[in-house]
Structure 1
């Protein structure tokens, strides 16, 4: 706009107005508000306008024209230097905040043990390209007197509010799994912990209280039964890989996510049991896996990819191959965070007892 105004003034009878300071403002403002390429374009535009007006007004050879050019060049150089310094400082600051955020997330989301009672296990967590924002995915696997208990969940939103909800759910789960024999009761304790946290004045922004919810899936693999028991609150279904074929473990009575308990209707909730025999693989995951898209807008084929991976791989190797397939599908551009837990059911009787 400034360059256009200068051009209008210089090409009309109003050219008696001294427009040199106006043009020098163009690169200065561009350096503050734009990136290097657009700043260079703004400088080129200012120079072009200066040359055009000097030629039109036959002002070449005057001290005023050369002074305008010198001022324009000096301000442009200063703008580039200042812009580079500010960008470097902001990049360094963002990287520091990102490291702190990732460190905090890693403290809360620790890798699961390789061996838990009757299963071998592995976990994977991938962050989407969200700058310094931490995600809302959560997972945990714990060996208890009732068997191996696992949770995978996804808090709506990102940032500190989501991470606080993740910490609340995992904190409640890690405590209650050791004394609550009912799997539905474990889930209800996690929901109650979220409600208590939300009731604390100032704990969450008002909009987060109004819109927030958490999908969650809790699984239990008993030591002495070839089954997996599930309680699902609005989360993507677990997948079992049995004899080279995947099967989604869909809930027969779908329930809403945590935070939306007022919408629950029907008979009392009970855990649902599905076969999980020795040699089977169970995958718990967040929606960032199945909603990942490629450039053609195709969803990631999770079931087909699982079936294509050799069964001879360990759980950690299996998840690593899933990871590579996911990155290839999205060409490295994940739109949402990803969390997965994979467990292999071992032969009966090889579990480690918990006292």
Structure 2
């Protein structure tokens, strides 16, 4: 058979005249035809105007009910398939973290405020590299499906940059460039013009980002762009990891030429960090009270001995109960614990060779 003839056959098979009708049309067609037949019968048939009115009405009602149930099942099946596809795509975007990464135990979860999405505007990732274990926690302005594109741009850049950049500042600059490029492309798509229109809603988008780098000896370095500092959990109690100042969020302002990477101490074996987005502490109950995250963490560490899974479960359970079943903003929580053995040279010292003090009450700091 000639190749041209084979292509012609494929063309005929794919022609509009031979295209199979959509599933929704097949599902909605029988009820529409049945309604037309029923209406015509009731208006034109003599039996419908005489003593058989009750019998015919019962038959029409029974058959019509069956068709409605058939359409409902078909639409629910399509909805389940669509949700399965969306869930698979979203799981690739915000993939499930392994239970352990280079001696660190992990537990993480995300709750979307949008009922139609499993992933919202929060993001996190933990990757072991030759430069140490690098962690990102971020929060995109807005929530739900509209923020997923920005999450994909930032996470995709992070997953590449952590292996390529030797310095944490280089990773942050890569994220900033990826976000700027994404916003420019989105602005052109929504508002056909060159550049980013200052009056465009896209120009107001921003992302808060927290970057951590945990070395083999537990040394922790951080860059914070407007994100809440994580909590440190140890046998002394619960306290913020540091009170250092934050940079502005990514997006509205350019990064400074000199990025101050903060040395926030050493994560000792058995200690844990709880990273979270502001949707956790901003969650309110029916009386307008904020969620007491530090109190919940204190109770969880007392009962579960800093187990990441148990701490995460306790926080989310109390949060959902506090918010009445679903938070009004996206929520993400990441718990990591240092399960590495204590090296002889490290002892029980902090980052600068002094014993780590017991956590103190947090001082008021201004987060962006």
What do you get for the CA RMSD once the two structures are aligned? 3.7
Alignment of 1:83-94 (within 5 A): none
SS across alignment from 1:139: strand
Establish whether residue 168 from structure 1 lines up as the match of residue 162 from structure 2. no
Partner of 1:219: 212
Change (3 A) 1:288 1:246: same
Change (3 A) 1:157 1:97: farther
CA distance in 2, matches of 1:140, 1:320: 19
Match of 1:230 among 213, 219, 222: 222
Partner of 1:23: none
Q: May I ask how many residue pairs the two structures share in their alignment?
A: 285
Q: Deviations over 1:93-114 (max 9, x none)?
A: 5554444333221111112222
In the TM superposition, residue 88 of structure 1 has moved relative to its aligned partner by 7.4
Partner of 1:14: none
Alignment TM-score, normalising by the size of structure 1: 0.68
Match of 2:239 among 233, 236, 247: 247
SS across alignment from 1:200: helix
Match of 1:103 among 88, 100, 111: 88
Q: Deviations over 1:59-106 (max 9, x none)?
A: xxxxxxxxxxx9xx99xx99x979999887776655544443332211
CA distance in 2, matches of 1:84, 1:274: 61
Change (3 A) 1:334 1:85: farther
Partner of 1:348: 342
Change (3 A) 1:83 1:255: farther
Establish whether residue 282 from structure 1 lines up as the match of residue 273 from structure 2. yes
CA distance in 2, matches of 1:155, 1:85: 41
Structure 1: where are the runs of 5+ without partners? 1-69, 351-355
SS across alignment from 2:274: strand
In the TM superposition, residue 243 of structure 1 has moved relative to its aligned partner by 2.1
Establish whether residue 258 from structure 1 lines up as the match of residue 250 from structure 2. yes
Contact 2:272 2:336 (C-alpha < 8 Å) held by counterparts: yes
Partner of 1:44: none
In the TM superposition, residue 176 of structure 1 has moved relative to its aligned partner by 1.0
Alignment TM-score, normalising by the size of structure 2: 0.66
Change (3 A) 1:202 1:234: closer
Partner of 1:138: 123
